[in-house]
Amino acid sequence: MIKPHGAETLNPLYVSDEVKRAELTKEAEQLPAVLLSSGAAASAVMLASGYFTPLTGYMNIDEAISVAADMKLPNGLFWPVPVMNIVPPEQLTDAVKNAKRIALRDPNVEGNPPLAVMKVSAIETLSADQKQFLIEKTFGTTDPEHPGVPAFANVGDNVLSGPIEVLNYSYFREDFPNTFRTAVEIREDIAARGWNTVVAFQTRNPMHRAHEGLCKIAQKEVNADGILIHMLLGKLKPGDIPADVRDAAIRAMVEHYFPENTVSITGYGFDMLYAGPREALLHAVFRQNCGATHFIVGRDHAGAGDYYGAFDAQEIFDTIPEDALEIGIFRGNFTVWSKKCNEIVMMSDSPHDADDYFSISGTKLREMLAAGEPPPPEIARPEVAQILMKYYQTEANA
């Protein structure tokens, strides 16, 4: 199986020993504490799950600046996006300032229970110029209308860095018991299935015929034993479809339209950054960590609005060192129903006249679903459409 990123074995930071975890949980209740941002809490879950191997905790300012500037840590490890714990001034109490160890409390679970314990390596303050630099390099813009920028810009200026030990998986294990999986669990599943070549597909949306076709095209081209459909389960921007609806729609599609034991449906606990090219690189890192040998990077991968070009997230892979990642990248083109071929094709592989392709806009598709009008079968499988129509009609009547 493909090696984890920058390591021989995974480095999950979840405290798996029950006795030690109970002791740490008890200690955490007595420690000075900060309330994490949702993004920092999601990063703790990713660290716990092994997806962020080989990181051991949150980055300090020098490390974050190095990552933003050169996509590598000061020790030379390739890493595309800063992983930081930034808090507002009211969280930085005297007790926290003087502590060697602090509890990190979960903002997404009722009662804000301890999510992790951190050994405090440094407490620093970001300057306005440093914060602007981190935002611009990560997102390619400082526009406050970008959905990812405010989550970084408004979280505070105080940077707490150091190694962490994670006590739980926040709400993900309880809310998505059939879907949430750690990188450790996915590697174990791949081995149990006997798969050697695995192509991973990232999604924060339900999968329509074009997505289904792209997965099948990629599987065929790389001769993969299986497809890892790996959906984001964390926080999204307004208007995106909730994870439970996506999950149901994807499972309906796989059940009816993929051969048995060719697809693993899983999810991971992270908040969407909408960072386009940089996030595509991060997605590749944690797909390598969960054992996939290939990763599909499609059109406008991890993008939002018009902030990135359609294929910027593919082209950024041409700018990194050849040895930065071991995972192979499958570059998806415009994927659409071909009237001539009577199937889903990538337009780059089957160039026809524009009239030979069947497509409708996303706006039109949402209008049809909200009206209870089934989309054309060339666009969405009927089993998927039924789930989405129910969701959109419920939203429209809310």
Backbone region of residue 131 per phi and psi (left: phi > 0; alpha: psi in -120 to 50; beta: other values): alpha
Catalytic pick among 173, 193, 204, 331: 204
Q: How many CA atoms lie within 13 A of 395 on its CB side?
A: 18
**CB of 186 within 8 A of CB of 264?**
yes
Residues 6+ positions from 159 with CB-CB distance below 8 Å: 58, 60, 61, 64, 84, 85, 86, 122, 123, 124, 125, 126
Residues 6+ positions from 175 with CB-CB distance below 8 Å: 233, 244
Instruction: Assign 27 to helix, strand or coil.
Output: helix
In the 8-state DSSP scheme, what is residue 374? P
> Is 204 designated active site?
yes
Q: What is the largest CA-CA distance in the chain?
A: 70
* Rounded Cα gap, residues 292 and 314, in angstroms: 18
> What does DSSP say about strands 343-346 and 335-338: parallel, antiparallel, or unpaired?
antiparallel
> Is 261 designated active site?
no
How many helices and strands (H and E) does the chain possess?
14, 15
* Rounded Cα gap, residues 38 and 44, in angstroms: 10
Closest residue by Cα to residue 245 from 302, 206, 203: 206
* Rounded Cα gap, residues 29 and 10, in angstroms: 29
**CB of 116 within 8 A of CB of 41?**
no
The set of catalytic residues is: 204-205
